[in-house]
């Protein structure tokens, strides 16, 4: 186990913070802390890095407690959102600075810096200054600087949030590639679910200072552990239903009651698991189309089910030619996850 966080608690005077955080991360894993602003993900990350002192709990890296060590003595390195590059130093000097402090020989520093620049695809940029670089290039330099320290755990605090969407996507791909090449253990903080789903080996979903679920991206998406996770990850429909015996009933639609729930439930249904037809099926609900939006290779169709509420479906754009606002349709559902009615979301 490369990193273990045990019963970590940190509360601020406002009452915000985290409680009872337990995380185990294996060597070479890229794990993402995901949640909205104020959920506690950065508190956990900064506690691991030594920038915050927890109220209680322990942090172990490679089996040794680091809770008493200052940031510079911990085998961690942090990549911040704001790059934190020295503007008066060249890219080379920014990267070499930490190695000079470690008294590494000059020739070794040069080789290490050149290798790091190559890894982040900035070969030949050593003589440039941060002001001459784009935001994406500056973030690459910040990443290279952290990689040069060969940390046991690399910590990344929303490093791509200041970049535009296209560049963010490219940086995600590059980070994943670097992580696979180096085998580094990484803990990544983001509020962007798409970023978390595309990058991570595992995702830790946080809410109000506690962990809601820890699992692989596909499992988080397919099997959310709570209504909160279901609503936070990806687009989701919520319909009221009733669980009785082996089935969950939503009007004429009956689906398996896998969790053996009883009474009123909330059914969480992904838009891709909703089918829209013109003719009434054996298990379907009648509705009227509110909106059809063509979104590139697929269409989002919104249907008003009257007493059941509104449901959205993702359909192939070629299959919606006959569908238009106001048209009477019938929807069926192929899959859903149910939660007790009392759970809030």
What are the tens digits of pLDDT across the range 114-134? 988 988 888 988 899 999 998
Range 320-333 average pLDDT = 89
Q: How confident is the model at residue 341 (pLDDT cuts 50, 70, 90)?
A: confident
Range 41-52 average pLDDT = 95
Q: Among 44, 51, 99, which residue's Cα sits nearest to residue 214? A: 44
247-286 pLDDT, tens digit each = 999 988 999 999 999 999 999 999 999 999 887 878 899 9
CB contact set of 98 (below 8 Å; sequence gap of 6+): 145, 148, 149
Range 83-104 average pLDDT = 87
| Adjacent-strand bridge partners of 244 | 247
Distances (CA, A) of 214 to 47, 96, 171, 204: 19, 37, 24, 4
Q: How much of the chain exceeds pLDDT 70, in percent?
A: 99
What are the strands of the beta sheet with 210-215, ordered from one edge?
76-79, 153-157, 186-190, 30-34, 202-207, 210-215
Domain spans in the chain, listed from the N-terminal domain onward: 3-228, 235-340
Q: How confident is the model at residue 199 (pLDDT cuts 50, 70, 90)?
A: very high
Class of domain 3-228: alpha beta
pLDDT at 227 over 70: yes
Q: 343: helix, coil or strand?
A: coil
* DSSP symbols for 191-244: S-HHHHHHH-SEEEEEETTEEEEEE-HHHHHHS-SSHHHHHHSS--EEEEEEEE
Range 78-94 average pLDDT = 87
The gap from C-alpha 35 to its chain's centroid, in whole angstroms, comes to 7
Q: How confident is the model at residue 19 (pLDDT cuts 50, 70, 90)?
A: very high
Do residues 130 and 85 touch, judged by C-beta distance below 8 A? yes
pLDDT at 204 over 90: yes
The model's pTM = 0.88
Do residues 113 and 96 touch, judged by C-beta distance below 8 A? yes
pLDDT at res. 283: 87
Q: What are the φ and ψ backbone dihedral angles of 111, each rounded to 5 degrees?
A: -65, -45
Range 182-187 average pLDDT = 93
| Cα–Cα distance for residue pair 243/11, rounded to 1 Å | 39
Residue 131 DSSP code: G
The gap from C-alpha 258 to its chain's centroid, in whole angstroms, comes to 27
| Cα–Cα distance for residue pair 259/334, rounded to 1 Å | 17
pLDDT at 345 over 60: no
137-150 pLDDT, tens digit each = 888 898 899 988 88
| Cα–Cα distance for residue pair 25/14, rounded to 1 Å | 30
| Cα–Cα distance for residue pair 33/17, rounded to 1 Å | 14
CB neighbour class for 256 (10 Å; exposed up to 12, middle 13-18, buried from 19): exposed
| Cα–Cα distance for residue pair 308/69, rounded to 1 Å | 56
Average pLDDT, the chain: 91
pLDDT at 34 over 90: yes
Report the residue count for the chain: 345
Do residues 143 and 104 touch, judged by C-beta distance below 8 A? no
pLDDT at res. 343: 67
pLDDT at 214 over 90: yes
Q: How confident is the model at residue 344 (pLDDT cuts 50, 70, 90)?
A: low
Do residues 219 and 260 touch, judged by C-beta distance below 8 A? no
Q: Does domain 235-340 have CATH number 3.40.190.100?
A: no
What are the strands of the beta sheet with 337-340, ordered from one edge?
253-256, 247-250, 237-244, 263-269, 337-340
Q: Which structure tokens are listed for 283?
A: 């298990």
Residue 178 DSSP code: H
Q: How much of the chain exceeds pLDDT 90, in percent?
A: 61
Q: 147: helix, coil or strand?
A: helix
pLDDT at 308 over 90: no
pLDDT at res. 296: 84
């Amino acid at each position: 186990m490369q990193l273990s966080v045990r019963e970590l608690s940190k509360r601020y005077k406002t009452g915000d913070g985290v409680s009872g955080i337990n995380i185990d991360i294996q060597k070479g894993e890229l794990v993402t802390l995901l949640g909205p602003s104020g959920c506690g993900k950065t508190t956990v990350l900064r506690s691991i890095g030594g920038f915050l002192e927890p109220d209680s709990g322990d942090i172990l890296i490679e089996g040794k407690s680091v809770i008493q060590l200052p940031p510079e003595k911990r085998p961690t390195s942090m990549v911040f959102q704001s790059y934190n590059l020295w503007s008066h130093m060249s890219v080379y000097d920014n990267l070499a600075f930490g190695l000079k402090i470690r008294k590494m020989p000059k020739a070794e520093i040069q080789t290490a810096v050149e290798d790091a620049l190559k890894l982040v695809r900035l070969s030949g940029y050593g003589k440039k200054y941060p002001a001459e670089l784009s935001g994406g290039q500056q973030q690459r330099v910040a990443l290279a600087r952290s990689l040069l320290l060969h940390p046991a755990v690399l910590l990344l605090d929303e490093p791509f949030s200041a970049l535009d969407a296209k560049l963010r996507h490219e940086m995600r791909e590059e980070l994943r590639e670097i992580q696979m090449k180096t085998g580094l253990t990484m803990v990544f903080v983001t509020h962007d679910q798409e970023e978390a789903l595309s990058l991570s080996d595992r995702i830790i979903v946080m809410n109000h200072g506690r962990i809601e679920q820890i699992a692989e991206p596909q499992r988080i998406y397919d099997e959310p552990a709570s209504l909160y996770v279901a609503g936070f990850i990806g687009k989701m429909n919520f319909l009221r239903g009733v669980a009785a015996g082996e089935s969950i009933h939503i009007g004429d639609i009956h689906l398996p009651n896998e969790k053996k729930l009883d009474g009123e439930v909330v059914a969480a249904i992904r838009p891709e698991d909703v089918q829209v037809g013109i003719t009434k099926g054996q298990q379907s609900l009648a509705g009227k189309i509110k909106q059809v939006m063509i979104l590139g290779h697929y269409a989002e169709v919104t249907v008003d089910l009257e007493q059941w509420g509104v449901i959205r479906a993702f359909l192939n754009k070629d299959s919606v030619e006959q569908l238009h606002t106001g048209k009477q349709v019938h929807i069926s559902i192929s899959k859903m996850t149910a939660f007790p009615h009392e759970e809030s979301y």
